[in-house]
Amino acid sequence: MKKKLLFGLGVGLAAGAALAAVASSQRPRWRRVQEIVPPELRSPILFVPASVSGRRGLQALRALPVPARVPEGIHYEVQSAAVEGRDPVAVHVYERPDRARPSGALLWIHGGGFIMGTPAIGHEFCSRVAAELGVLVVSVDYRLAPEHPFPTPLEDAYTGLRWLGDHAGELGVDPTRVAVGGDSAGGGLAACLAQLSHDRAEVPVCFELLVYPMLDDRSVLRTDHAGTGDFVWNPRSNRFGWTCYLGHPPATESAPAYAAAARREDLTGLPKAWIGVGDLDLFHAEDVAYAERLRTAGVDVELVVVPGMYHGADVIPPAAFAPSMVGFNSAKLDALRSAIG
């Protein structure tokens, strides 16, 4: 009995010491959160210094369940988008049963750093767009890096766009009111898709909704992030994501055409854009720079920068319910409503 008590005491002391060590190691992070993140945007996830930088960690993240469902009142189905001469791709389709036809349409591309995520993470947003705007929403289940590096994810997205354009009549879509959009890596793919669509001139895109888009692989080469990228998606994860997508570490000299939207020199003629990002987001500088370059090129662009917002705060509870994030999410819908609603 004495030995058991001593053993239990030892385990308890060891566990207590371990917890104390973890708490101590997180004190600088706690202070950082207190210093720069508004109280209404603080979330437990901010105190987890997580990053993905290897295959094992990536597989663990991919295995996590997605607590998402399609709300009642939305007709939802998964279809195979087949376009002649191209690999078919699965697309998740959302619409209101009483949608007036023809309507506008949004081709949505989910985020995940090019390396993880599924359309399921966008169920809530895609359903809300379909319900409130009365449009068709098509979310592309593109293949992921590193198993499928560039250009496969982008070409999968293009297949979804081609399918939407080719079947606009039977889908009840006005081909002059087709928008593309995405968040994070999905926003980067959407920006590249708008460029690709413009150059191939097969399916017109009237608008691009870019939610804290991942636009520039050269951000990996920066050492000074000006106080951004501390939370959720950090420089280490960014390096891994871009390396997986490109098939090699980013370099200053060049990247393949359409691999990184910010690399494109001539932005004239691209569709009207909405770009939203927080000033604590790792992508803040590249998103602001891209918006400014679009304006200089004569493209109508609306830039929304939210103070104190970190990457993904608009979908991470409880931050997502803060007034600033409610406003941010409403701004996305207002922009889409003006363009295709």
Among all residues, which ones are annotated catalytic? 184, 281, 311
Phi-psi group of 172: left, alpha or beta (phi > 0 → left; psi -120 to 50 → alpha; rest → beta): left
CA distance 268 to 293: 10
Helices and strands counted in the chain (H then E): 10, 8
CA dist 105 and 96 (Å) reads 12
291-300 burial, b at 16+ Cβ within 10 Å, e below that, comes to beebeeeebe
Q: In the chain, how long is the greatest CA-to-CA distance?
A: 81
Secondary structure of residue 274 in the 3-state scheme: strand
User: Are 110 and 121 contacting, i.e. CB atoms less than 8 angstroms apart?
Assistant: yes
Among residues 311, 251, 185, which one has the least CA distance to residue 193?
185
Residue type, 228: T
Say if CB 67 and CB 120 are below 8 A apart.
no
Which tokens is 52 given?
């993905």
CB 152 within 8 A of CB 248: no
> How many CB atoms are located within 10 Å of the residue 93 CB?
20
CA distance 157 to 134: 23
Which among 320, 313, 260, 318 is positioned nearest to 290, based on CA atoms?
A: 260
Contact between 341 and 104 (Cβ < 8 Å): yes
Amino acid at 261: A
SS3 202: coil
DSSP 8-state symbol, 115: T
